Structure 1
Amino acid sequence: PLLTPVLGLLGTWRGTGRGEYPTLAEDFAYEQEVTFSHDGRPFLRYESRAWLVGPDGGPLRPSARESGWFRLQPDGRVEALITQPTGVAEIAAGHAADGTVDLATHEVALTPTAKQVDATRRRYTLTEPGTLTCAHDLAAVGVELRHHLSARLTRDGHQPVPTDG
């Protein structure tokens, strides 16, 4: 029952997005794949990978990669643990309701050589059947929390559509 607010996220999602940040020379385009799965317990397994793409839409190189867990709590509360191979581990807390998961930083841990990350905010929203939008705000390397990434993903047609039953 704790998974009810997030059942619509289950499956693999693919699509494209745009990114920007004041410390980057220019905006960029990317492709992203996000997978949410579970084993019957009140946890969602989260995995995301992205590739930078060129003006023609062709892949240039791998980009962000992360994995973790969303821990569902009563009343739609969510706790998330998200790690990245760049040495960043985020603990976030938020809420899931009406097809949206909204998470904000509780704590960030960094390896000794990781770039400074102070806070994030992530929103995963089911905007229409089979469509997931992802938005990621970031406070890092001396820049206050601001928009960083946004993507529009569609459900992989090879995945079964989850049901409430």
Structure 2
Amino acid sequence: MLVAMNNEADNAAPLSGNEAVARAAEQSKSTAGRNIPTLGDLPVAEDTANLREGPNLHDGLLALLPLVGVWRGEGHAAPTDGTAQYAFGQQIVFAHDGENYLSYSSRIWRLDDEGNATGQDRRETGFVRIDLKDNIEFVTAHSDGAVEIMYGRPRTERAWQLESASTMVTETGPASLGPGKRLYGLMPNNNLGWVDERLAPGTDDELVPWMSAELTRVIG
């Protein structure tokens, strides 16, 4: 998946406006009427993962617009601490409330050989910001006891690359979480693919794939 995403990010021609609209229209046939649940009684705008509902997307987030939605699918993990590889299911939510940031949440569950869920795995929550020069800031808190700041830029209109700038780990957090790099991108089938690479133990600069997944839009 890493090779496929890198190739598309580097070599794909920009989508024409008509093609982009056509792809979005086809995808939205089953997702346009859905949104994330809300309580409905906040005195300010609530989060929405559907651009057709709720507040208007802030003009400063247009370069991140394709990410907004709820995505679900399956992936593969190869922990750098030497523990066994495993398959997982995942849900990612990119939402907004009209302000100049996206909220982000990810939850992962482990899968057995038949694709059945066997239990919870790691979770992340955070925020994505982008400035007028297309510099991205991605702040995430990990359920296993780490907080990470990543910086990056769009690689194309449909792909975004981020690199670790700062990682803090709690006393009970992961001892092997080294600096990393992430690539998010819309694939030719319009699914969201992502890859997280981490520093290989015992090396100074060798990044190896740690987690990757391909997710289908289910809301938005």
Alignment deviations for residues 25-47 of structure 1 (CA, whole Å, 9 cap, x no partner):
43211001000001112201010
Retained in 2: the 8 A contact 1:92–1:104? Answer: yes
Look up the match of 1:111: 170
4+ long deviations beyond 6 Å: none
Deviation at 1:23, TM superposition (A): 2.6
- 1:13 paired with 2:42, answer no
User: Could you say if the C-alpha distance between residues 38 and 59 of structure 1 is closer, same or farther in structure 2, counting changes exceeding 3 Å?
Assistant: same
Q: Secondary structure at the match of 2:208?
A: strand
Q: Determine the C-alpha separation between the residues in 1 that align with 2:68 and 2:190.
A: 11
RMSD of aligned C-alpha atoms? 1.7
Q: Determine the C-alpha separation between the residues in 2 that align with 1:23 and 1:58.
A: 25
Alignment deviations for residues 28-85 of structure 1 (CA, whole Å, 9 cap, x no partner):
1100100000111220101000011000100111111000001111122100100012
Q: Determine the C-alpha separation between the residues in 2 that align with 1:7 and 1:22.
A: 32
Residues 1-165 of structure 1: pairs in structure 2 closer than 5 A:
1-96=59-154, 97-116=156-175, 117-128=177-188, 130-139=190-199, 142=202, 144-156=206-218, 159-160=219-220
| Pairs aligned (count) | 158
Between Structure 1 and Structure 2, the one with more strand by share is 1
Deviation at 1:150, TM superposition (A): 1.0
User: Could you say if the C-alpha distance between residues 87 and 30 of structure 1 is closer, same or farther in structure 2, counting changes exceeding 3 Å?
Assistant: same
User: Could you say if the C-alpha distance between residues 129 and 55 of structure 1 is closer, same or farther in structure 2, counting changes exceeding 3 Å?
Assistant: closer
Deviation at 1:139, TM superposition (A): 2.5
- Which one has the largest radius of gyration? 2
Q: Determine the C-alpha separation between the residues in 2 that align with 1:44 and 1:140.
A: 30
Task: Give 2:170's aligned amino acid.
Answer: T
Structure 2 unaligned regions, length at least 5: 1-58
> Which moves more between the two structures, 129-138 or 7-16?
129-138
Deviation at 1:118, TM superposition (A): 2.5
Between the aligned residues of both structures, percent identity stands at 28
TM-score after normalising by structure 1: 0.88
Q: Determine the C-alpha separation between the residues in 1 that align with 2:148 and 2:202.
A: 18
Deviation at 1:120, TM superposition (A): 1.4
Between Structure 1 and Structure 2, the one with more helix by share is 2
Alignment deviations for residues 85-136 of structure 1 (CA, whole Å, 9 cap, x no partner):
2110001100124111211001001112212323111111011354100101
Task: Give 1:120's aligned amino acid.
Answer: G
Retained in 1: the 8 A contact 2:80–2:210? Answer: no
> Which moves more between the two structures, 44-53 or 19-28?
19-28
